[in-house]
């Protein structure tokens, strides 16, 4: 690589699906030939594809086998990785402020850093929005990160073990899980938990049979589940969930979460052993007016059509943490396919910026939505707004297409050949590993 001091430095903060894909693209295009220095910053050391968090929470996904190590990805694709959390931005000096890195015993691993940039890209994703509901922070698990998903899984296994010694009360069961929010994450988690409980029962935890003794409850404030998706998809998913005995409460707004369960505005109370909050998202509070950048009420950084921030031509943002106009008076939805498309455009736009060329505007192409219902089924609508009427798919075809989305993400990061090897190793793993993580 050419002398880093003479190369423009592109700093990408956030190694989620979009951020890591952008770092990989720019590393291959600019880092390898020495045209720029590409640096990825993330608070964690590994990457997990966020749409798989519900599987990680249920224990049906082996994160250690499939997570991507940032240092290894950086070496293979010619960018640098810095571990740390963004805590500030000095736009005048063109520096991002990174917090000290502290180990589990409170010792400092790395001091606070000031990292200079020529172009900055913010792709820090989103977090769960609890809307200030009392008790959520103390008594619910917000399923918005791998750490939270692992924490839920540990709580789940503990609760399953505890249920073996509890008598079953008439009509209640020994264990209940309340999931607040029936968007894609909540719906997929409900189905995944039902499937996981069946597997756990076969391992001797017979007192959590999901057909008789485990109660799974979905609570949604909107009139129907999957409210942001086409109604036909919502109806099909609700039908499949009811076949699994998942209890659905729509048009119910949660006003309190406590150690015993969940209380709704209607006065209804749902007892719960474990409560998951999956209702709504927002960008991190730390982004609110970061460095004087314009943000909206969800803390998202407001960008123009080229993904450039409205107040600084050297700062870009994309994915869930950005409010990007869709050209039709609305905003690009916070979805994985949007982040994937934005990463591709931004990789080209940054190269154009380095050459002094005008930037291209982003146009979101909606290819539809897919929702996985564990091993039971999948439902989806294809083509979305691109067609006069979306094509509805379900069953094995939808399951195959949902699986292919993960493969597309792996190919964007690892290429075709490495993705084939990863897929082969996944199939081999299924031969000798339990279907559910038991610890």
Q: Identify the structural domains of the chain with CATH numbers, from first to last.
A: 4-126+283-354 (3.50.50.60), 136-281+371-432 (3.50.50.100)
Whether 203 shows a pLDDT value over 90: the answer reads no
Whether 42 shows a pLDDT value over 80: the answer reads yes
What average pLDDT does range 182-195 have in this prediction? 88
Whether 267 shows a pLDDT value over 90: the answer reads yes
pLDDT band at 308 (very low <50, low <70, confident <90, very high): very high
- The neighbouring-strand residues paired with 379 are 371, 394
- The answer to whether residues 216 and 177 touch, using CB atoms and an 8 Å cutoff, is yes
What average pLDDT does range 51-65 have in this prediction? 74
Give tens-digit pLDDT for 131-176: 999 999 999 999 888 888 889 888 888 888 887 776 655 545 578 8
Query: How confident is the model at residue 4, as a pLDDT?
Result: 43
What is the phi-psi region of residue 356: left when phi exceeds 0, alpha when psi lies from -120 to 50, beta otherwise? Answer: left
Stronger pLDDT, 162 or 91, i.e. the higher one: 91
Token readout for 92 is 């005048």
Stronger pLDDT, 412 or 151, i.e. the higher one: 151
Spell out a b/e string for 234-263, using b for 16 or more CB atoms within 10 Å of the CB, else e: bebbbebbeebebebbbebebeebeeebbb
C-alpha closest to that of 374 among 258, 243, 203, 272: 243
pTM for the predicted model, two decimal places: 0.84
- The neighbouring-strand residues paired with 276 are 141, 179
Token readout for 35 is 């045209």
Mean per-residue pLDDT of the chain: 84
**Cα–Cα distance list, 296 to 285, 301, 306, 321, 413 (Å):** 11, 7, 18, 10, 31
Give tens-digit pLDDT for 390-408: 555 555 555 566 667 667 7
Query: How confident is the model at residue 53, as a pLDDT?
Result: 84
pLDDT band at 199 (very low <50, low <70, confident <90, very high): confident
3-state secondary structure of 402: helix
Residue 292: CB atoms within 10 A of its CB come to 11
Exposed, middle or buried: residue 175 (CB in 10 Å: 0-12, 13-18, 19+)?
buried
**Cα–Cα distance list, 334 to 99, 297, 322, 339, 388 (Å):** 27, 15, 9, 8, 23
Whether 322 shows a pLDDT value over 80: the answer reads yes
Token readout for 333 is 């939805």
């Amino acid at each position: 690589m050419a002398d880093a001091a003479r190369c423009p430095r592109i700093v990408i903060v956030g190694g989620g699906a979009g951020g890591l894909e952008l770092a990989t693209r720019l590393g291959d295009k600019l880092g390898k030939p020495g045209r720029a220095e590409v640096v990825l910053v993330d608070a964690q050391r590994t990457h997990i594809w966020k749409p798989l968090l519900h599987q990680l929470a249920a224990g049906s996904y082996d994160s250690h086998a499939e997570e991507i190590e940032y240092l290894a990805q950086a070496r293979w694709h010619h960018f640098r990785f810095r571990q740390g959390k963004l805590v500030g931005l000095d736009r005048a000096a063109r520096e991002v402020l990174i917090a000290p890195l502290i180990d589990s015993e409170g010792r400092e691993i790395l001091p606070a850093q000031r990292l200079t940039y020529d172009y900055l890209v913010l792709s820090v994703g989103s977090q769960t929005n609890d809307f200030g509901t009392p008790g959520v922070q103390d008594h619910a698990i917000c399923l918005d990160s791998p750490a939270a998903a692992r924490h839920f899984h540990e709580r789940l296994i503990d609760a399953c073990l505890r249920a073996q010694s509890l008598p079953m009360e008439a009509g209640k069961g020994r264990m209940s899980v309340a999931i607040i929010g029936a968007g894609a994450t909540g719906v997929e988690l409900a189905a995944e938990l039902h499937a996981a409980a069946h597997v756990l029962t076969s391992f001797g935890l017979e007192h959590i049979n999901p057909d008789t003794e485990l109660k799974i409850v979905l609570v949604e404030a909107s009139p129907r589940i999957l409210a942001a998706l086409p109604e036909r998809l919502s109806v099909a998913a609700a039908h499949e969930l009811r076949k699994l005995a998942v209890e659905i409460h729509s048009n119910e707004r949660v006003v309190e979460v406590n150690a015993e369960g969940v209380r709704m505005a209607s006065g209804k109370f749902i007892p719960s052993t474990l409560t998951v909050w999956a209702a709504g998202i927002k960008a991190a509070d730390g982004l609110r007016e970061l460095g004087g950048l314009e943000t909206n009420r969800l803390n998202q950084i407001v960008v123009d059509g080229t993904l450039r921030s409205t107040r600084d031509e050297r700062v870009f943002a994309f994915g869930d943490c950005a409010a990007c106009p869709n050209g039709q008076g609305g905003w690009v939805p916070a979805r994985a396919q949007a982040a994937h498309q934005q990463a591709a455009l931004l990789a080209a736009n940054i190269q154009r910026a380095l050459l002094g060329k005008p930037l291209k505007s982003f146009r979101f192409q909606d290819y539809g939505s897919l929702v996985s219902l564990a091993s039971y089924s999948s439902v989806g609508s294809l083509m979305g707004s691109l067609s006069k009427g979306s094509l509805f798919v379900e069953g094995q075809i939808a399951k195959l297409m949902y699986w292919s989305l993960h493969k597309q993400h792996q190919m964007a990061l690892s290429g075709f050949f490495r993705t084939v090897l990863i897929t082969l190793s996944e199939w081999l793993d299924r031969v000798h590993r339990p279907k559910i993580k038991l610890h």
